[in-house]
Chains A and B, each alone.
Chain A
């Protein structure tokens, strides 16, 4: 019986995908045990767990691409804030049509991401440093355009008084619920981002180049892989994802907060790594990251429905991330 169980466990833990599935199942079992008077069995709990995981999840999609190429992107949280601020200003204050406001945010995200990419791929600054610089710069830019304050429906008149404008409906659309109140729109946006990144990574030449660069950059270069272009576009994709996440964040908060998204880069990295994407590059995938996103989403939700205080919640999250990554470690 024990031998059978051991064999079963060995097979279940053979690949990173099955290990990520096991981690998620364990998380759900924890939820069943600590169900908080049945709160875990309500549909709304699951909807909210996924909703809360969606914004960092979108970041994790871009992050996964960058990590597979052997890099890291620390700027996603700041780029999210920049995009949130720009979206709120253009859509609320200046009443730009939603499509134009969204396009502007996406363009800014692409630009910031490309800048990180060029710094690391062309000027050969280590990705950690290049994106650290972008992280500080984008945060500063977000505060500059918003004058350090949250951008909401209260608009300051030239004479110093405030007037209130109405919230554009696009904010409510993005933060709405679908499928009979059982699914958040942001979760759908997250899934769409996931699908795009997945297709690019798994079905496009570009994805193959990312894996090859992360696995052995010199071999990739000598095989004719356009290394600098591929790396730069990976960071650009990460910037684009951060911009989308920023739009969602602004819609959820009904404002553009220049302080938003602080620390989200670490959540996104944790989601990718718990899924089984290797920080050393060359190994991993978006399917794995999807499992990581859901796992962390449930972890947060289970802790919150059980009313675990913020301080203990942070410590527990740290411990669980280490445990999850240890199980993902390759056995040789």
Chain B
């Protein structure tokens, strides 16, 4: 692949990126969240057809226009969210869409024996008749690889294949990868994890903000250099965190704040048939008026930590939670709200707002219990509350009767924030508070966060934008595979040190 450029509307997400894979090589593709790795892979796999640049498969130029065409050219992608049909058997999944029978009938016996052969090839000892949904995630992943091999894939792309696996399962996968290498297949492997790059990588390519940063044989690339490649972004004129002032003079509230939230050995199950915990043994303390940043790359468990803390997974979480010094049991979001907690979710469209309802309904949704004592609503009181929120959050809308879905991203985010501020939270969990909004709205949200901490609200936040997290947080706690790998006090954290910890580099 050379000179690949891809735009979404006016947004350039890939800009002249190149990548080459040789037979018998594991080529690591690295970069922060949003660096363009997934987009590049999708171009290679024929998901998009409107890009610029050139791709050569085995020396011949080709331009796959659909995933099927890319597969015929010998490229198979194993996505993070597996693309198997859960209710169908392993054999049926392997041959899905390519049953080679006459007149559309499936030659069962032939498929089964072929499937058994392929499963042995990937080291899976299961019957081809097993429904995929009965298999653990790790085995499903191997089935996915068997499916790729059945199409005689010469190039396999794996998008963070280990994110749901336990350590022994990772070992199995890696020995399979070694075998695939010996067979002369090329592998593109996307990962955030330092130890994986060292174990299986032959070459490493780093992307940042859609640009190609560098390519080098893995043994020659030091950890420090790799991290620098991934981070090395200048903060630029567009990024001026309003919280810059915080760094110089911590607010008095932060200095004097009493403890609001303390986690002891907190853990969250990951569900979905996976054996490992999404979050494991986390200790954390949060004081009034303080911002603690949770850093972690995809799959690190930061979102699950916030959701688990908020009672979204029921009472299945482990360890202890102390709110204002007292032990609290939080078994549901209702419990959490009653305890003065609020959670801004990372995806406002999917889990934050009721897009088809008016702004004002969204803004008071979490506080209906107080606004409508005895159940009967008082429209005048609600309107007054919404007016006050709109003023406080500088929310711009032609009318509060407008559906939330009609607003711009920044204003939608403000509605989601307003909903929680209305509940008068003492601990505010912010998952990606500035995701997908423009620079101006970001600045306003930074300002709001500062106003809230000045009022004594304690904030626990995540952000995939490291500079933002560094600028806003009083302290930063870093998670890697669900565990805390580092904690930094004010002024100690640098982008390099945080990212290194997030990738699992032992310091």
Hey, which bits of chain A sit against chain B, CB under 8 A?
A: 203-206, 208-209, 211-212, 215-216, 218-226, 282-283
Contact = CB atoms under 8 A, between A and B. Distances in A.
Contacts of B366: 223-224
| 9 pairs of A and B residues whose beta carbons are closest in the complex | A215-B354, A223-B366, A205-B372, A224-B337, A216-B354, A224-B334, A282-B356, A215-B356, A205-B368
Interface string B302-331: 000000001010000000000000000000
Nearest to A221: B333
24 contacts: A204-B375, A205-B368, A205-B369, A205-B372, A205-B377, A206-B375, A208-B361, A208-B377, A211-B357, A211-B361, A215-B356, A215-B357, A216-B351, A216-B355, A219-B345, A219-B351, A219-B352, A219-B354, A221-B312, A221-B333, A222-B345, A224-B334, A225-B368, A282-B357
Q: Which of A208, A219, A283 is the most central at the interface, judged by chain B CB atoms within 10 Å of its CB?
A: A219
Contact of B354 (A206, A212, A224): A212
Nearest to B350: A218
Nearest to A209: B368
B404 to A, nearest CB: 9
Interface residues of B, number: 28
Contacts of A209: 368
B343 interface: yes
A223 B355 contact: no
Nearest to B368: A205
Contacts, number: 73
Given A215-B354, A215-B357, A282-B356, A205 B375 contact: yes
Q: Is the interface of A mostly helix, strand, loop or mixed?
A: helix
A205 B379 CA distance: 11
Contacts of B334: 224, 226
B266 to A, nearest CB: 19
B365 interface: yes
B19 to A, nearest CB: 37
B192 to A, nearest CB: 27
Contacts of A212: 354, 357, 361, 365
Contacts of A208: 361, 365, 368, 377
B360 to A, nearest CB: 10
A237 to B, nearest CB: 14
B110 to A, nearest CB: 37
A241 B373 CA distance: 26
A50 B220 CA distance: 85
B206 interface: no
A222 B351 contact: yes
Contacts of B377: 203-205, 208
Contacts of B361: 208, 211-212
Given A208-B368, A222-B351, 20 more contacts: A204-B372, A204-B375, A205-B375, A208-B377, A209-B368, A211-B357, A211-B361, A212-B357, A212-B361, A215-B356, A215-B357, A216-B353, A216-B354, A216-B356, A218-B350, A219-B345, A219-B351, A219-B352, A222-B345, A222-B352
A219 B349 CA distance: 9
B385 to A, nearest CB: 13
Contact of A204 (B351, B369, B376): B376
B426 interface: no
A282 B355 CA distance: 9
A201 B70 CA distance: 53
Given A204-B376, A205-B377, A223 B356 contact: no
